Amino acid sequence: MRTTLTTPSLLEGFEAWLAGRPERDQPHRREAHALLRDGGYPTRRHEEWRFTALGPWAESRSPSAPSTVATAGFRAFDVEGLEAIDLEFIDGRLASVPEIPGVKIVVLGSDLGPEERPANSSDSRGDVPALELLNRAWSDRGVLVEVEPGVKVNHPLHFRFLSAAGSSTFTQPRVHLRLGRSSEVKVLEHHRSAGESTATNLHFEVELEEGARLEHVQLTLLGDSAAHATNLRAEVGRDATYSHWNFVLGGRWVRDDLHCRLAGEHSEMRLMGLAVAGGEQMIDTHTRVEHGAEHARSIEEYRHVVDDQARVVFAGRVVVEAQVRDSDARQTNANLLLSPDARVNALPQLEIYNDDVKASHGSSMGQLDEEALFYLRSRGIDEATARGLLLWGFANSVVEQLEWPALAQLIQHEVQGHLGEILSLEEES
């Protein structure tokens, strides 16, 4: 069930904002806005949103113009030892277009490029999700990044998303990444905020043609009051491989919706995630992996460390369609609760419509292993250090699988910092 929108900033401000857009770009935006207005935002009565409130975050905000940020504002994005090609986004708008051999970058939905025609992606109910409609209607300028067939990009593409707008605004970045046949690239999608109360709603579309390979790391390092939503749509073609890593290490309210389809035979997908949550953080991850072709393989592993009054939601759905033979789908979710007030809602789900499949899923949650703590203490290790070792082992089991040394080192440093804060608070209490 959805509530009809009545927020003046979204209803009254849209036509005035749209008047400044190119005429060819207006019809699909107006259609998306009408659907959002009539359908409203999902409420807790909606199955996909029953643990998370969207309305209070989005309804009170209005679109923002890109902020003016000095180049120095991007220094926080630097990764020591990582030689990458930077694409810098300020409040959703690409600041400049780098020249990359074998890669075409086009600004969409503006006078600078062709009209954007959004894909008709939808959820299991057949309607377009509210956050996607929001992005379609209000996105400033989408960006198409296309890797030409056979091209192996020598350096990673570093998407630097800096949110700098004020607390009453939201930004709507939109990216379409397309890999041609037998192409290969690594992507770091990196989110930081210059202000505390920023809000971003990113739509990221990924398309892999036959034999393409993409390693995609999403790193969210936002301020304590920031809100962030990602709507990822990925389609993986024949013999193609897509790896997605999601590290959430900041932000007050974070929602990630990943809708991935294995569309070609022998396609492979790997989804990995780690979140460390404390205070009153809300981190909500929904994944949907569709096996739509024979001999496809998917692996999911998500881990969460939850402290204080933080709340984490993980809903992972795997769908193996009828007539799709020899599918292999595995999903695991592990949660470590460090406080009596910490909460996790885990919803692993399998939908299998044929018998020729290997599939497994499971979810676990609990506290640090007392026997393991006792063992370490018996070896002369003090309690704080012992707890730190166990926490680190739990979290690093995801990071250490990332075969990207410079980036893995940065993430390990950030994770250690967050775990150190948790241990310090425990000692104080």
Q: What is the pLDDT of residue 120?
A: 40
Is the pLDDT at 289 greater than 90? The verdict is: yes
Q: What is the pLDDT of residue 413?
A: 94
Hey, is 215 helix, strand or coil? Answer: strand
Cβ pair 124, 288 in contact under 8 A: yes
| Among 331, 251, 334, CA closest to 288 | 331
Spell out the SS3 assignment of 156-191.
CEEEEEEECCCCCEEECCEEEEEECCCCEEEEEEEE
Mean pLDDT of 370-390: 88
Mean pLDDT of 196-210: 90
Is the pLDDT at 4 greater than 50? The verdict is: no
Q: What is the DSSP string of 23-38?
A: GGGHHHHHHHHHHHHH
Mean pLDDT of 181-195: 92
For the ranges 64-68, 124-128, 194-198, the one whose mean pLDDT is highest: 194-198
Cα 7 from chain centre: 27
Q: What is the pLDDT of residue 122?
A: 41
Using pLDDT thresholds of 50, 70 and 90, give the confidence band for residue 21.
confident
d(CA 160, CA 72): 13
- Least confident range from 31-45, 143-157, 168-182, 319-333: namely 31-45
Is the pLDDT at 275 greater than 80? The verdict is: yes
Backbone φ and ψ of 16, nearest 5°: -65, -40
d(CA 98, CA 397): 35
pLDDT digits (tens, 9 = 90+) for 301-354: 999 999 999 999 999 999 999 989 999 999 999 999 999 999 999 999 999 999
Helix (H) or strand (E) holding 422: helix 405-428
Mean pLDDT of 371-376: 87
Cβ pair 241, 206 in contact under 8 A: no
Q: What is the pLDDT of residue 14?
A: 79
Using pLDDT thresholds of 50, 70 and 90, give the confidence band for residue 207.
very high
Q: What is the pLDDT of residue 119?
A: 43
Cβ pair 337, 344 in contact under 8 A: yes
Selected residue with higher pLDDT from 10 and 329? 329
Proportion of the chain in helix, strand, coil states, percent, rounded to 5? 25, 40, 35
Is the pLDDT at 117 greater than 90? The verdict is: no
The overall average pLDDT reported for the chain is 86
pLDDT digits (tens, 9 = 90+) for 409-418: 999 999 999 9
The pTM is what? Answer: 0.91
d(CA 120, CA 104): 23
Spell out the SS3 assignment of 279-331.
CCCEEEEEEEEEECCCCCEEEEEEEEEECCCCEEEEEEEEEECCCCCCEEEEE
Cβ pair 391, 368 in contact under 8 A: yes
Residue carrying structure tokens 């999902």: 42
By the 10 Å C-beta count (0-12 exposed, 13-18 middle, 19+ buried), 7 is classed as: middle
Q: What is the pLDDT of residue 43?
A: 79
For the ranges 22-36, 74-88, 92-106, 370-384, the one whose mean pLDDT is highest: 92-106
CA separation, residue 371 to residues 316, 379, 387, 409 (Å)? 30, 13, 12, 30
Q: What is the pLDDT of residue 299?
A: 97
Q: Write out the two tokens for 190.
A: 């990196």
Share of the chain above pLDDT 70, in %: 85
- Least confident range from 13-22, 228-237, 279-288, 392-401: namely 13-22
Residue carrying structure tokens 């007539």: 323
Q: What is the pLDDT of residue 19?
A: 80
Q: What is the pLDDT of residue 166?
A: 58
